[in-house]
Amino acid sequence: MSAHFLLGGARSGKSALAQRLAEESALPVTVIVTGEPRDAEMAERIARHRRERPAHWRTVEAPFALADALRAHAAPGRFVLVDCLTLWLSNWLLACLDDTPRRGPEEFSAERAALLELVAAPPGPLVLVANEVGLGLVPETALGRRFRDEAGRLNQDVAARAAAVSFVAAGLPLRLK
């Protein structure tokens, strides 16, 4: 089995491409979502994504334990779509940096390593979606710069392990690997 990593900017069409790949697989589909509805706009965004997916697809929420969710749901006869790694990373950074941290850096490092192992050898067909955040201006804040840097490193590490990598812009995929 192999992993296909899709990355691109916001509203670039990467989630639509991931959905199309899932549909074309003709396999049962599990979508692992990582976003948390922290505000009304995010709640609406999550609801819109759910409406856009076929009703018979299974949706699993994994804002932190992504490797566990992959282990539980990935299999040779099931297509798994992860949307998205960038929100997953954001969840971890915010949880580790809270005034009263809910999670620790060691826990994040272990989860990240487990995820990368699964990308290198997924138990079934896997598509992962992430944002490319390093093409814009240098973020103004230390947290913004850290997020951009962590996202860039995560994207590089996932791309190195995935069998296929595509960059999506204006709804058009460019195969990188």
Cα–Cα dist 30/13, whole Å: 19
Cα–Cα dist 98/104, whole Å: 10
Contact 125, 25 (CB under 8 A): yes
Tell me the three state secondary structure of residue 30. strand
10 is in an annotated binding site: yes
45 is in an annotated binding site: no
83 is in an annotated binding site: yes
58 is in an annotated binding site: no
9 is in an annotated binding site: yes
Cα–Cα dist 86/137, whole Å: 18
43 is in an annotated binding site: no
DSSP letter, residue 75:
B
Contact 151, 130 (CB under 8 A): yes
61 is in an annotated binding site: yes
Cα–Cα dist 102/9, whole Å: 29
Q: Is 49 a catalytic residue?
A: yes
Q: One of 4, 49, 56, 73 is an active-site residue; which one? A: 49
Contact 154, 162 (CB under 8 A): no
By annotation, the residues acting in catalysis are: 49
Annotated binding residues, written as ranges, equal 8-15, 50-53, 61, 83
Annotated binding residues for GTP, written as ranges, equal 8-15, 50-53, 61, 83
